[in-house]
Amino acid sequence: MKIYVPMDSAAKALGADEVAAAIAAEAASRGLDIDLIRNGTRGMIWLEPLVEIDRGAGREGYGPVTAADVPALLDGTLDSLGPVENIPFFARQTRLTFARCGVTDPLSLSDYEANGGLAGLRRAAAMSGAEIVEEVTRSGLRGRGGAGFPTGIKWNTVLQAQADQKYIVCNADEGDSGTFADRMIMEGDPFCLIEGMAIAGLAVGATKGYVYLRSEYPDAIRVMQEAVRIARANGILGAGILASGRSFDMEIRTGAGAYVCGEETSLLNSLEGKRGVVRAKPPLPALEGFRGRPTVVNNVISLATVPVILEKGADHYADFGLGRSRGTIPVQIAGNVKYGGLFETAFGMPLGELVLDIAGGTASGRPVKAVQVGGPLGAYMPCGKFETPFGYEEFDGAGGLIGHAGIVVFDDSADMLQMARFAMEFCAVESCGKCTPCRIGAVRGVETIDRIAAGDPAAVPLLTDLCETMTDGSLCALGGFTPYPVMSALTHFPDDFATAKEAAE
């Protein structure tokens, strides 16, 4: 009998370690011969700890399980969820990037290979760099870190650059509120990211890679370090990877936790041991990046999606999606929802379907008021925008952005003036200080919103004016995009700003 208990940190936070220990102890006291496997999470966080048992006829799910449930679990009398693949939240997904997450033992290389792992790298090892870049370009993959820049075009710039050394840098800073896709794949399928980085290295001619991983993810750091060690010991990293005659190796580096260090140039400074301030562009990191050398900087999900593109082909990946948003996107559903978790789907699903149907509406049972999509710099979308399909251009047209695809849901008790204030305060706290519109503007923004709250109507046009200055004059998207949440709150929820005024009068 095989028993799977996730070792993902969200599952652990909900008691997975205690459940695993109780299963081991109970099985030992009963003299039961079990194979206890610590898998990644399937991403249905409201069911964690989600235990799966394979008694020889496929995996059956139970959850959330507590240590006290373990005797009934082993007796076979605990209520079963049935096969996890049939749970509607899971069954409705298209899992390409996350196909193995929750299925395999994250640190078992044989599990990885038995489930399609390394097929992409093997294919890439027999291709020229230009052919790999062409394949990634044709897949339509765009950066999942926020900006949605076409990955193939970025890789081509690095491929064409002449230099004695090139680098692959993986952005695993994952600072956006409500997001956890990077963490989930690093903890649940770390070889997938390693394989993606090795393919990127072969593509552009880079022999060295770094994962810049936030210090707040100690489990992901541990799993990634161990996976790199295993990959190196098995010839997947190092000299002549997979007998290709080409080399690639990588290291895990820990960031100390600043939101702005997720911005790629600030990240490169931090990686070089300098203060994490934004660099002016140009030069692009693709030409002068880490230590001044041509560097691919890509998000975890962008890189972890490359293996399946190489394995199944560009056309297979590009077949999914909508308009210029090709393939799938792991939407991370959080905030006030019944069913929070990771939902990987082809681009195109309307926002309202994700919030009301997939996430089941609010956990509080009250009406949804707003959904912030794309992290702390994303717009607050009102229910009137629920028809918007999940796609880069479609969200842009609706005054929003997808960012790293985190959605945070609020019910009608949320005060949108306070949310606007929070966005400005966040910018003031996290600003790197390099440019005036952000460094000073965000502080003035908090003060101006406080004036509106105190009933000063003259402060509203002032806030609009300030947001225009921040949008037009900021050096990076921290100052440049903070007006998205602020202005969307003001535009879509004017009553909250008027109520504040009335309350003050």
Ligand X SMILES: Cc1cc2nc3c(=O)[nH]c(=O)nc-3n(C[C@H](O)[C@H](O)[C@H](O)COP(=O)(O)O)c2cc1C
Q: Encode burial over 177-205: b for 16+ CB neighbours within 10 A, e otherwise.
A: bbbbbbbbbbbbbbbbbbbbbbbbbbbbb
What amino acid is encoded at 258 in this protein? Answer: A
DSSP designation for 376: G
Q: Is 424 in the site for ligand SF4 (CB under 6 A)?
A: no
Binding mask 427-466 for ligand X (x = CB under 6 A): ----------------------------------------
Give me 426's structure tokens.
Answer: 């966040």
In the list 48, 52, 135, 174, the residue contacting ligand X (rule: CB under 6 A) is 174
- Least Cβ distance, residue 470 to ligand SF4 (angstroms): 8
Binding range to ligand X, per CB under 6 A, among 85-93, 443-451, 472-480, 483-491: 472-480
Output the CA torsion 358→360→363→365 (10° steps): 150
In the list 38, 232, 253, 439, the residue contacting ligand SF4 (rule: CB under 6 A) is 439
- Least Cβ distance, residue 286 to ligand SF4 (angstroms): 19
DSSP designation for 349: -
CA distance 479 to 483: 8
Is 485 within 8 Å of 418 (Cβ atoms)?
no
Among the listed residues 388, 384, 364, 361, the one whose alpha carbon sits nearest the alpha carbon of residue 374: 388
Among the listed residues 83, 62, 70, 78, the one whose alpha carbon sits nearest the alpha carbon of residue 30: 70
175 touches, from ligand X, ligand SF4, none (C-beta below 5 to 8 Å by class): ligand X
Dihedral angle sign, alpha carbons of residues 126, 131, 136, 138: negative
SS3 category, 115: coil
**150 vs 205, which CB is nearer to ligand X?**
150
**251 vs 465, which CB is nearer to ligand SF4?**
465
CA distance 354 to 454: 37
**153 vs 454, which CB is nearer to ligand X?**
153
Site residues (CB under 6 A) for ligand X, limited to 130-159: 143-147, 149
In the list 151, 156, 299, 431, the residue contacting ligand SF4 (rule: CB under 6 A) is 431
In the list 435, 449, 453, 487, the residue contacting ligand SF4 (rule: CB under 6 A) is 435
Binding mask 261-300 for ligand X (x = CB under 6 A): -xxx--------------------------------xxx-
Output the CA torsion 440→443→444→448 (10° steps): 160
- Least Cβ distance, residue 446 to ligand SF4 (angstroms): 15
User: What phi, psi does 105 have (nearest 5°)?
Assistant: -80, 115
Dihedral angle sign, alpha carbons of residues 430, 434, 438, 440: positive
Q: Is 230 in the site for ligand SF4 (CB under 6 A)?
A: no
In the list 61, 63, 117, 175, the residue contacting ligand X (rule: CB under 6 A) is 175
**36 vs 440, which CB is nearer to ligand SF4?**
440
Among the listed residues 177, 217, 176, 216, the one whose alpha carbon sits nearest the alpha carbon of residue 193: 217
Is 219 within 8 Å of 11 (Cβ atoms)?
no
Binding range to ligand X, per CB under 6 A, among 172-180, 190-198, 201-209, 309-317: 172-180
Q: Can you list the alpha helix ranges (DSSP code H) found in 65-165?
A: 70-75, 88-91, 109-114, 119-125, 129-139, 151-160
**304 vs 476, which CB is nearer to ligand SF4?**
476
Output the CA torsion 330→335→336→338 (10° steps): 40
Binding mask 104-143 for ligand SF4 (x = CB under 6 A): ----------------------------------------
**340 vs 479, which CB is nearer to ligand SF4?**
479
439 touches, from ligand X, ligand SF4, none (C-beta below 5 to 8 Å by class): ligand SF4
297 touches, from ligand X, ligand SF4, none (C-beta below 5 to 8 Å by class): ligand X
**101 vs 181, which CB is nearer to ligand X?**
181
Query: Which residues sit at the interface with ligand X, rule CB under 6 A?
Result: 143-147, 149, 171, 173-175, 259-260, 262-264, 297-299, 302, 476-478
Binding site residues, ligand SF4, CB under 6 A: 260, 278, 431-435, 438-439, 474-476, 478-479
